[in-house]
A and B are shown apart, each in its own frame.
Chain A
Amino acid sequence: MSAATSNAPRVRDDADHEPPVLEHAGSLADLTDELLDKVVRPPRWMGPALLVTFLGTLMLFAAIAYTVTTGIGVWGNNIPVAWAFGITNFVWWIGIGHAGTFISAFLLLLEQRWRASINRFAEAMTLFAVMQAALFPLLHLGRPWFFYWLIPYPSTMKIWPQFRSALTWDVAAVMTYFTVSLLFWYLGLVPDLAVMRDRAPGLLRRRVYALFALGWKGSVHDWHRWRIGYGLLGGIATPLVVSVHSIVSSDFAIANLPGWHSLIFPPYFVAGAIYSGFAMVLTLMIPARRLYRIEHIITTRHLDSMAKMLLVTGWIVLYSYAVEAWSAWYSGDRYEAYTNLVMRPFGPYALVYWVVITCNCVTPQLFWWRRARRSALALWVASLFIQVGMWAERFMLIVTSQSRDFLPSSWGLYRPTSVDVALLSGTVFFFLFLFLLFLRFVPFIPIAEVKELKHGLEREREPEEQVHA
């Protein structure tokens, strides 16, 4: 490549030291078959991995059944800490979902090429994370079979939901987010399902994929409409990314508790969400690219770009922590100051606070170094730290404020029960189970988009070849 570019005018300054977005020397047909092969011939570890995560999922459903049949008294929540693991898990999971929409929508609008190979992956992660998230408020209702009371429908009780309450905003935000993410993901998937329909071995498999491909034929008219519709969906989903966690943060910000009643919450939550989401994409992507041997499609360039995103969002999070502490002191409000400056760093949950600072503020500083940004191992370990840190951050925000508010007589501590722990770990298994099913049955690297990318890259490299005629 260096020989080819040496005479040509430089397109970009950093072309020399930026790793390529795609390293594939074969034809478009080879590329397609290679990507299809990953789906139709699953690796040997797939069966055992599915089994383990399925067993974990069974544990989750057992914990859910126990909770629903007995009541949420089996959780550690009580007064004063009425929101604990359930809401922490909800905020954490839905935050993780954000990176998917960010990668597919934001980066689509910004025409970032490196998104092409990983967007489907990230979108699937979003869908599955939002599914885990939605479980918790449902269970937290106590009587989840009445969840439809949150939706405005003309009921015989002649009452309506209260739209000035954050709970109804959450319902609208989460349901919209899930639906739009699903539509976006599926619309991008349709042409690739058509590839599966045409190339997958076995009649049954072809028939099933044909049903899901909806009869896609790939005419220029279809592609024209698809391209504009897909771009538009990206544009619509972009403000949605920002809105969902802003609304979630309003659950806290509109309350009066010290440590919750804060204007910085919406941007602070959104930055944290994208931060943890990128970490989750890395946690899943790094082993997958290694195990599926697709390092030439998800390249070092992707790792490098994602690490930079971690660094940026990590700094926004760090800045938010600083502003939160500073305004707690500057407000002159003794309760705010106590919660933010004494209770959190030195109170009974001090350990959680220092885990947050270590994982979220110290870890990403590693990515100032290029070597760390391009090391899959360093990134993977860091991504785990960041996820632990982001979970701990939500726990800290939610639990400390409730456990010590205005009156010392109403203070109290929270301890999780085994059911709490089973639900949290169970959703991790369920999430991984769904994700493995996705890897097993769906073309997880966008075939049409990567082909378009390859074609575009080749044209840039050899501009003289297509000028004739």
Chain B
Amino acid sequence: MREVVVAELDSPERVVQAARSVRALGYRRVEAFVPFPIPELDAVLGIRRTRLPYLVLLAGFAGAALALLIQWWTNAIDYPINVGARPLNSLPTDMLIVFESTVLLSAGMAFATVLLGSRLPRLHDPIFDLPGFERTSLDRYWIVIGDAYDTDSTVLDEALGLLDGELARLGAVVTRARIGEQAP
């Protein structure tokens, strides 16, 4: 079980403003849930750029190396076939499969890191316990303050008080919620 303070908003502009206010009040553990990408929120919430591209680059190199190695070893070393005295280790013809393998491994890595980085796939997420959360994919924008186990209730009480005043003018509904069924 964990306790959070949530603010429910109804437009992308307002969620950006609300996030700005919340950060200005000094809260660090803030997450927002929105129906489509809003790149401005990344900066407001202080999200550091993901390192995913470097992993993809590494996977690409691995794919290239693997393809080169397989083609060289199978065709030039382990099972050489003389085709009209053409070179056994033939880089120009190897390059096509090197390219395909680079693409395959880097694409697989991009896909896997997007999912695994978001801790997907999973059957359930504690945030789904939030009443009305299923409207997120439709037209609801949420700001959630508080993290799994280390936020004590006095901090949340304070947050509730501060935010209610701050965000009410944006039409936000600020409440306290319990999510996650299991105790830590």
A residues neighboring B (CB under 8 Å): 27-29, 32-33, 152, 158-164, 168-169, 172-173, 175-176, 179-180, 183-184, 186-187, 190-191, 194-195, 197-199, 210-211, 214-230, 232-233, 236-237, 239-240, 243, 247, 250, 448-449, 451-452, 455, 465-466, 469
Contacts and interface: CB of A to CB of B under 8 A. Distances in A.
B35 A199 contact: no
Given A169-B97, A218-B33, A220-B34, A228 B13 contact: no
Nearest to B119: A215
A70 B39 CA distance: 59
B172 to A, nearest CB: 13
B94 A163 contact: yes
B74 A152 contact: yes
Given A215-B123, A218-B137, A449-B36, A229 B113 contact: yes
B21 to A, nearest CB: 9
Contact of B97 (A168, A180, A198, A227): A168
Contact of B32 (A195, A216, A219): A219
Interface in B88-117: 90, 93-94, 96-97, 99-101, 103-104, 106-108, 110-111, 113-115, 117
Of the candidates B42, B49, B137, the one having the most CB atoms from chain A within 10 angstroms of its own CB is B137
B87 to A, nearest CB: 9
Interface of B: 12-13, 17, 31-39, 41-42, 45, 47, 49-50, 52-53, 56, 70-71, 74-75, 78-79, 81, 83, 86, 90, 93-94, 96-97, 99-101, 103-104, 106-108, 110-111, 113-115, 117-118, 120-125, 127-128, 134-139
Given A180-B103, A232-B52, A469-B17, A219 B31 contact: yes
B79 A452 contact: no
B38 A451 contact: no
A206 B39 CA distance: 29
Contacts of B39: 224, 227
A172 B99 CA distance: 10
A217 B111 contact: no
B150 to A, nearest CB: 18
A247 B122 CA distance: 39
User: Among the interface residues B35, B50, B111, which one has the most CB atoms of the partner chain A within 10 A?
Assistant: B35
A239 B161 CA distance: 54
B107 A448 contact: no
Contact of B36 (A221, A250, A448): A448
16 contacts: A27-B139, A162-B81, A162-B83, A164-B75, A164-B86, A169-B97, A172-B100, A198-B137, A215-B120, A220-B32, A240-B103, A448-B35, A448-B36, A451-B35, A452-B36, A452-B37
B107 A169 contact: no
A180 B107 contact: yes
B96 to A, nearest CB: 5
Contacts of A219: 31-33, 118, 127
Contacts of A176: 100-101, 103-104
Contacts, number: 189
A218 B107 contact: no
Contact of B45 (A184, A220, A233, A243): A220
Contacts of B70: 152
A224 B114 CA distance: 9
Given A179-B104, A220-B34, A225-B117, A214 B122 contact: yes
A362 B175 CA distance: 66
Contacts of A448: 35-37
Contacts of B33: 217-220
A11 B146 CA distance: 43
Contacts of B97: 163, 168-169, 172
B35 A228 contact: no
A146 B64 CA distance: 27
Given A160-B74, A175-B104, A223-B38, 14 more contacts: A163-B71, A176-B100, A183-B111, A214-B122, A220-B32, A224-B42, A224-B50, A225-B50, A228-B52, A229-B110, A239-B99, A239-B103, A448-B37, A455-B36
Contact of A215 (B36, B52, B124): B124
A191 B78 CA distance: 47
Nearest to B94: A163
B96 A173 contact: yes
A226 B127 contact: no
A469 B21 CA distance: 10
Given A215-B120, A469-B17, A163 B136 contact: no
Contacts of B100: 169, 172-173, 176, 243, 247
B63 to A, nearest CB: 10
Contacts of B134: 198-199
A217 B36 contact: no
Contact of B31 (A152, A159, A220, A239): A220
Given A179-B104, A229-B110, A451-B35, A160 B75 contact: yes
A223 B32 CA distance: 10
A108 to B, nearest CB: 13
A243 B103 CA distance: 10
Given A215-B122, A236-B106, A221 B96 contact: no
Contact of B137 (A191, A225, A243): A191
A199 B137 contact: yes
